[in-house]
Amino acid sequence: MIGHGFMGAAHSQGWRVAPRFFDLPLDPQMSVIVGRDAANVEASARKWGWAETATDWRDVISRDDIDVVDIVTPGDTHAEIAIAALEAGKHVLCEKPLANTVAEAEAMTASAESAAARGVRSMVGFTYRRVPATTFARDLVAAGRIGEVRQVRAEYLQDWLMDAESPLTWRLKKEHAGSGALGDIGAHAIDLTEYITGQRVTGVSGIIETLVKERPLLGEGHGLSGTASAERGAVTVDDVALFTGRLSSGALASFEATRFRTGRKNALRIEISGSTGAIAFDLERLNELEFYDATLPSTGLGFQRILVTEQDHPYLAPWWPTGHMLGYEHGFSNQVFDFVTAIADETAPSPSFADGLHVQRVLDAVERSSEAGSVWVSTGD
């Protein structure tokens, strides 16, 4: 695993726990964790259970005893690492968004397709697909339970940047993150909409805004981590993104991604309205799904709360008895199960790098629309 921040902890949990609950067809070993700071990466290895540490990812991907490379670094490094790993014959799991630009994502996808011809697999980590309730929502839509999809509202709401004195971390610098709320959390709203509906966003009209223009720099040389200093620097990514979209069927969608929605901590919400019903999901209540059946008599209408903890629900069989809730971290174990199974079965895992490229094109279209005054922009695929 290359990288060891927040996502490093989440992915480590996934790799460590999945073999203990799922009957995996292969036995993943947590061999090496890579980070630039030797002391920090050694502490992460001890905490999360990695056997070795390294400070140069190039040395690690050249090793014959490494089969899989898991990339959890900032977006500006994804393309270089992923392409090198694929060319070295390593299966690659890469965190979202796939890259910082469409050009980088295109190069990564081309490399992934070439590697696939040699039996090398790759997948992008849109982990919220692995929440049992979202997968069950996808199954209900695919089974026609809400009829024709007519309208979607998707939003990812956080408030962790409300304090204007919060330091200027790497996520607020375009050269490292690519974009702000749009790419960091808006990408999830886009992917989850497409995953559940089975459709793609074909065009958008949107606006993005940076609400706090500058923040305190981090101390200790102003690196990617540390404490705030007295100096200030410019925020070069968006804080809020609002956009409308059209799906491939012609259905309309509205999207919001913000890190300034006061009081909302991690509210990824999606509501899909169809001709015979509707589905609603909120990540802050991730074990639940709301389902509306419009075919019932008027006296029985209303959203039904479904507790998605039954053994027959997606991913639930290896976990706990009915009614015992899953949490955020379980999605990463479910992701490991899917990825390892695809490698063993020699099938293409999903979402693919091509799927990640499509989301990158949607993000790019939103930015271009905003720059042009919220004009309508095609996603180009």
Contact 116, 348 (CB under 8 A): yes
- Other C-beta atoms within 10 Å of 60: how many? 23
First-residue to last-residue Cα distance in the chain: 32
- Is the pLDDT at 205 greater than 80? The verdict is yes
- Is the pLDDT at 220 greater than 70? The verdict is no
User: Is this structure's pTM higher than 0.85?
Assistant: yes
Out of 3.30.360.10, 3.60.20.10, 3.90.650.10, 3.40.50.300, the CATH code matching 131-326+358-371 is: 3.30.360.10
Residues facing 281 on adjacent strands: 270
Q: Which two tokens stand for residue 175?
A: 């050269």
> Do strands 149-157 and 267-274 pair parallel, antiparallel, or not at all (unpaired)?
antiparallel
Contact 254, 175 (CB under 8 A): no
> Please, which pLDDT band fits residue 224 given cuts at 50, 70 and 90?
very low
Annotate 24-91 with DSSP letters as a single string.
-SS-----EEE-SSHHHHHHHHHHHT-SEEES-HHHHHT-TT--EEEE-S-GGGHHHHHHHHHHTT-E
> What is the per-residue pLDDT for 70?
98
Domain coordinates in residue numbering, the chain: 6-128, 131-326+358-371
* Percentage of residues of the chain with pLDDT beyond 90: 96
How far apart are alpha carbons 210 and 236 in whole angstroms? Answer: 8
Please state, rounded to an integer, the average pLDDT across all residues of the chain: 96
What type of residue is 295? Answer: T
List phi, psi (to 5°) of 169.
Answer: -80, 175
* Percentage of residues of the chain with pLDDT beyond 70: 97
pLDDT tens-digit readout, 140-176: 999 999 999 999 999 999 999 999 999 999 999 999 9
The CATH number given to 6-128 is 3.40.50.720
pLDDT tens-digit readout, 122-143: 999 999 999 999 999 999 999 9
- Is the pLDDT at 222 greater than 50? The verdict is no
How far apart are alpha carbons 42 and 63 in whole angstroms? Answer: 19
> Please, which pLDDT band fits residue 229 given cuts at 50, 70 and 90?
low
